[in-house]
Amino acid sequence: MPAPGLRAGFEALNISEQLNSVVEKLLGSAVWLDRDPDVLMAADQRSASGLKPAAKGKREPKDCQIIETYFALCRRLRAEGFSRRAVFVSANKSDFCAEGEPLTFHADLTGACSEGQIEFAVNFGHAISILDRA
């Protein structure tokens, strides 16, 4: 247990309020997407085939829905002329990255990522550094 003076010092930082503010800003700027039957079908096919983020014997329907939604969004954005960087953020390197290469998409994902010009980040700080590159 930290010393009483140290605990008081941390409480003065108001970390919980600051984190809550970050979450509120993130949720306030989020765009909610309707469920798309084509995306759901692609996610189900990915999961049933054992393609990352799923694996043989380990279905990951939610993760497959997330990545397929992101692929569809990026394809749509690119078709509409969006040319800025797109970054997929996940700390789950085992489901999305090549083995031994924690910053490279797994081969099951590279085609769609290349098509959508999608880069990978392991956290929001990493994503910001990618987005800030010229």
pTM: 0.78
Within the chain, strands assigned E span 86-89, 97-98, 101-105, 118-121
d(CA 108, CA 3): 50
Distances (CA, A) of 54 to 31, 58, 89, 128: 26, 6, 17, 27
pLDDT at 5: 56
Nearest C-alpha neighbor of 75 from the set 65, 66, 64, 86: 86
Q: Helix, strand or coil for residue 61?
A: helix
pLDDT by residue for the chain (134 residues), tens only, comes to 555 555 666 677 788 888 899 889 988 998 888 899 999 999 999 999 999 999 887 777 899 999 999 999 999 999 999 999 999 999 999 899 998 898 899 999 999 999 999 999 999 999 999 999 96
So where are the chain's domains?
Answer: 1-30, 31-132
